[in-house]
Structure 1
Amino acid sequence: MIYVASLLNNVRGCAFTRRICRISLIICIFIFISAPSGNAIAEPILDYRETLLELDKSSSLVLPQSVFHAWEIADAEAGKIVKAWQTEQTTVPWTRVQLERHMKHKIMPTRGARGLALMHVAMHDAYDIAAARKMNAKLVVSMAAAQVLGYLFTAEEKAFDRIAFAVAAQLSRTGREMLPADARRAIELGYAIGRHVVRHGETDGAQKGWNGIRLQWYGEGRYYGPGTWEPTPPYFYYPPDEPFAPTWRTWALDRADEFRPIPPAYGSPKYIQDLQEVVRINQNLRPEQLKIAKFWVDGSGSVTPPGHWNAIAIDEIVKSKLDDVTTARLFAHLNMAQADAFIAVWDTKYHYWSARPITVAKSLLGVGLVPAILTPPFPSYVSGHAAFSGAAARIIGAYLPKHAKRLDTMAAEAAESRLLGGIHFRHDNEDGLQLGRKVAEKVLTRFAVAH
């Protein structure tokens, strides 16, 4: 368990302002009490003891005026969420909202994995604490989700608060009234949980950016030479993506290099064999192979690779009719595993700085290589797609064991797609899959889920 002993200064206080009281009471009379389905989650992922103690000591916490900005009962996005709850689990519609923002704001996979983990830890813990306190889980989850989304997509911060309150109002159309005090405390609880997770994100190390120094990352005694990554055509993007990611805080891993694999040596028989395979496939790519490469590309403007596996999870969860508790837990573990897999992959990439196939095909084989998909701007070994997919398939399969084999097959196809696309070696993909699976097992073990 991660302990976050910080209190949220901007939610302290002893009473609502008159304006906040009026708005809260309007909301309160509309909200119905809904007991969470299934058994309560074992315990939150983060440590909220001091935050909840502060919440319980005060007669009321003062929420900032921005929470109530431009609130509209008829908000269209809130309507979609409430309607979705007729057939979907509590956390599913909010996951869709986040994936839509990934596409809208063209989020990179690295940042996408981190954001999905923060969001789903917040919703998991909000559901758990709401259940323990017999509060409206949908309202607590919605307010917590709005705070994390506002942190991740700052330009829409007020819009997410509006959506959360509009959700609260629209629940009234099919439910019973909630006592004003209960509604106020549920709103406060969701807000406090969400801000707690935001504080966790603000201190996870992801704020550090590239300093422009090219050679420092090659380490003592290293040199910028054969077999080492360099910017690739056609755009020669530089700097490489997220070189500081190995220093980000993990969820389950003890260290970013805990499962760091070892690549074949540059120019070794295995290395040459795998490079020849990339060139051979690229020169004889069949339409069905190109289709696979394109299906899993998940480039700019998409839901990204971690988002793709969240979309797969949504489909599996809804079809399998999992309960709310299991769904919240699955999503939290899925996204913590993908976030940790990403950190582990980036640790490996920036430890070895392995060149891409397009860089070494000419120097080692004397042939040009034009990949079927764009080569991303960071080192080759290991494949992030493979690791994301290996981790995701194992987490979802742990909850849906009847589908585990099919999910592993999908993960293998996602990994293979990077070879078919001409941007990864087979050893990148195979070792990436294994790395992701090890991370998934660590998440499931650390957070004590029987599988």
Structure 2
Amino acid sequence: MTTTLGLALGLAEAPARAAGPGDRPRGGRENVVLRWSQAQLEATTRTHLGPPMVARALAVTHTCMYDAWAAYDRRAAGTRFGTRLRRPRAERTARNKDQAISYAAYTAAVDLWPTERPRFDALMAALGYPVSPAGRAGEIGVRACEAVLRSRHDDGANQLGDLQPGAYSDYTGYRPVNDPLMVGRPMDKRTLRDPGRWQALALMDDAGVPRTQEYMGPHMGYVQPFALRSWDQFKIPAPARYGSRAYTRQARDIMRTTAHLTDRQKVISEYWADEGPGFVSPPGTWANIARFVSLRDRNGVDDDVKMFFAMTNAVFDSSIAVWGYKRHHDSVRPISAIRYLYGGKRIPSWPEHGRRHQKVIDGGTWWPYQPPFFVTPAFAEYPSGHSAFGAAGGQVLKMFTGSDRYGDSVTVRAGSSRVEPGRSPRRNVTLRWPTFSSAIEENGVSREYGGIHFKDAVEYGTSMGRKIGVQAYNEARLLFAGFARPAADETGS
């Protein structure tokens, strides 16, 4: 089965990603919110933003759309103008809402994904709008979004490269303490000067070009959040320290988990990864899930504007908290810890398809269950961003819909693995999520199956993400009810 996203891009099906949550319409129709959300996800697959940058971009775009819509609602307050853009009752029509939302979305999209402008122009044409607003509703949409963009251009993300040259480049002076790990060779333990700290990987990328990782977004914990007071508002314990029993135990547990992977667990690992070329990035996964909910519940524009606004900002806030902690602890990934602890020793590795027994390897060559061009992400381990994104996004969807009911499923084709292409899984595997909670849990544990995260990173990422989701949704509800934020400091004249 080819995904909706794959069809839109004209791409062949991505291995082990037969369909994403939310890919299949279930009775609703695509309103302008869904069409612009899809356009954002398609832009994400063609560009190379990291997870926190994607989370921010989705939140900024949906904030622009929300603020434009709020001007045409009888009660809601926008994030920048509060209620000062409120239009007269006679103007609060569905047509004007659609137009204002579209111009806001377009204004945000060309700012955040500038290389994708021709495709955004094409969507505007398909919706029947010129790229320059010709009416009052379009002007309101542009005005609302430009206020959001002004505030976000100075939020610490360095989107425009004015703090340090290069879009989203680090301006904090981060430098890794360890030398890179050559993943294609047995580990040289001298490269890991501090076994508790992050180590870059030197590997071949998907185009076969040698690359050495650079830490992705070490400054992203300092970005201005939506509802969080600071990245460390919700406290979590420090990760296990090198030399402790907990450090050795967590490495042993991941080694054993990956050594006993079933076909189903391999599918779970790959399905939820959503990383690499042609994928929507983990924050985009939850926009896809929100799309499923919209179509399932036959949402209108009013519901979708609010749901996507709250959900994307919760995921955005979780990215800030996670990247703050990642930078603070700078913690080691399983591939480095396991190779360091077990180098020169014979250990079990994940079973290759067709083998009746475990593969036994030199621990210094241990490899997570990941494609060779994407061995481990280019940032520190603790806590798990996947887990926090999922918990925050899923929590908002539970609260918005008033139920934990989810109800999606996907069948992954035999042989569609990116790690073991043509060989795994041996048979079609169907994943089902009756509840948002089950999806949150499976999303988190997928990182353990993939050898990307230790168990503590998943558990504390999940617990923190849920709290962030609650806080973000409660903040959004105040805006829905018309309570203007102190940040609503733009003039409405």
> What interval of TM-score do these two structures reach, taking the shorter chain for normalisation?
0.7 to 0.9
Equivalent position of 2:214 in the other structure: 239
> 2: distance between equivalents of 1:382 and 1:143?
37
Give aligned pairs, total: 354
- Indicate conservation of the 8 Å contact 1:107/1:300, yes or no: no
- Indicate conservation of the 8 Å contact 1:232/1:358, yes or no: no
Equivalent position of 1:305 in the other structure: 282
- Indicate conservation of the 8 Å contact 2:258/2:450, yes or no: yes
**1:447 match: secondary structure:** helix
Following superposition, the deviation at residue 217 of structure 1 comes to: 8.7
For the aligned residues, what is the CA RMSD? 2.8
Which of these residues, 441, 448, 460, is aligned with residue 431 of structure 1? 460
Mapping for residues 282-361 of structure 1, pairs under 5 Å: 282-301=258-277, 302-361=279-338
- Indicate conservation of the 8 Å contact 2:202/2:213, yes or no: no
The worse-fitting range, judged by mean Cα deviation, of 355-364 and 414-423 is 355-364
Equivalent position of 1:416 in the other structure: 445
Report whether the alignment pairs 1:186 with 2:137.
Answer: yes
**1:91 match: secondary structure:** helix
Following superposition, the deviation at residue 339 of structure 1 comes to: 0.7
Amino acid at match of 2:47: H
> 2: distance between equivalents of 1:211 and 1:137?
39
Mapping for residues 267-286 of structure 1, pairs under 5 Å: 267-286=243-262
Which of these residues, 44, 55, 59, is aligned with residue 117 of structure 1? 59
Report whether the alignment pairs 1:254 with 2:229.
Answer: yes
Indicate how the Cα distance of structure 1 residues 291 and 163 shifts in structure 2: closer, same or farther if over 3 A, else same: closer
**2:224 match: secondary structure:** coil
Equivalent position of 2:352 in the other structure: none
**1:234 match: secondary structure:** strand
The worse-fitting range, judged by mean Cα deviation, of 337-346 and 230-239 is 230-239
Following superposition, the deviation at residue 241 of structure 1 comes to: 0.4
> 2: distance between equivalents of 1:214 and 1:403?
41
> 2: distance between equivalents of 1:249 and 1:142?
25
Report whether the alignment pairs 1:376 with 2:352.
Answer: no
Report whether the alignment pairs 1:396 with 2:377.
Answer: no
> 2: distance between equivalents of 1:285 and 1:298?
19
Equivalent position of 1:25 in the other structure: none
Equivalent position of 1:88 in the other structure: 30
Equivalent position of 1:203 in the other structure: 154
> 1: distance between equivalents of 2:212 and 2:176?
18
- Indicate conservation of the 8 Å contact 1:356/1:423, yes or no: yes
**1:87 match: secondary structure:** coil
Amino acid at match of 2:459: E
Which of these residues, 199, 212, 226, is aligned with residue 230 of structure 1? 199
Equivalent position of 2:18 in the other structure: none
Following superposition, the deviation at residue 445 of structure 1 comes to: 2.4
- Indicate conservation of the 8 Å contact 2:28/2:297, yes or no: no
Deviation string, structure 1 residues 363-411 (Cα, Å, up to 9, x no partner): 3344242111120111100011011001011011111233357111111
Indicate how the Cα distance of structure 1 residues 269 and 150 shifts in structure 2: closer, same or farther if over 3 A, else same: same
How high is the sequence identity, in percent, across the aligned residues?
A: 29
Indicate how the Cα distance of structure 1 residues 165 and 189 shifts in structure 2: closer, same or farther if over 3 A, else same: farther
Equivalent position of 2:19 in the other structure: none
Equivalent position of 2:115 in the other structure: 155
- Indicate conservation of the 8 Å contact 1:305/1:385, yes or no: yes
Amino acid at match of 2:253: E
> 2: distance between equivalents of 1:341 and 1:409?
19
> 2: distance between equivalents of 1:200 and 1:217?
34
- Indicate conservation of the 8 Å contact 1:260/1:348, yes or no: no
> 2: distance between equivalents of 1:232 and 1:159?
35
Deviation string, structure 1 residues 172-220 (Cα, Å, up to 9, x no partner): xxxxxxxxxx9621121112112222212211111142369554899xx
Amino acid at match of 1:308: T
> 2: distance between equivalents of 1:169 and 1:445?
34
Deviation string, structure 1 residues 74-122 (Cα, Å, up to 9, x no partner): xx99xxxxxxx98233311110011011112233212110000001011
Any gaps of 5 or more consecutive residues in structure 1?
1-75, 78-84, 171-181
> 2: distance between equivalents of 1:86 and 1:192?
30
- Indicate conservation of the 8 Å contact 2:197/2:331, yes or no: yes
Following superposition, the deviation at residue 320 of structure 1 comes to: 1.0
- Indicate conservation of the 8 Å contact 1:313/1:396, yes or no: yes
Equivalent position of 1:48 in the other structure: none
- Indicate conservation of the 8 Å contact 1:143/1:161, yes or no: no
Equivalent position of 1:168 in the other structure: 128
Following superposition, the deviation at residue 165 of structure 1 comes to: 5.3
- Indicate conservation of the 8 Å contact 1:147/1:161, yes or no: no
- Indicate conservation of the 8 Å contact 1:317/1:327, yes or no: yes
Following superposition, the deviation at residue 224 of structure 1 comes to: 5.4
The structure that is strand-richer by fraction is: 2
Deviation string, structure 1 residues 307-352 (Cα, Å, up to 9, x no partner): 0110011011111123322221110111111111001000001101
Report whether the alignment pairs 1:441 with 2:438.
Answer: no
TM-score (norm 2): 0.67
**Which structure exhibits the higher relative contact order, with contacts defined as CA atoms closer than 8 Å and separated by 6 or more residues?**
2
> 2: distance between equivalents of 1:217 and 1:342?
24
> 1: distance between equivalents of 2:439 and 2:259?
25
The worse-fitting range, judged by mean Cα deviation, of 339-348 and 261-270 is 261-270
Mapping for residues 208-223 of structure 1, pairs under 5 Å: 208=163, 209-210=169-170, 213=173, 215=175
Indicate how the Cα distance of structure 1 residues 340 and 237 shifts in structure 2: closer, same or farther if over 3 A, else same: farther
**1:130 match: secondary structure:** coil
> 2: distance between equivalents of 1:268 and 1:409?
33
Amino acid at match of 1:347: G
Following superposition, the deviation at residue 447 of structure 1 comes to: 2.9
Indicate how the Cα distance of structure 1 residues 129 and 350 shifts in structure 2: closer, same or farther if over 3 A, else same: same
**1:402 match: secondary structure:** coil
Which of these residues, 97, 116, 131, is aligned with residue 137 of structure 1? 97
Amino acid at match of 1:248: V
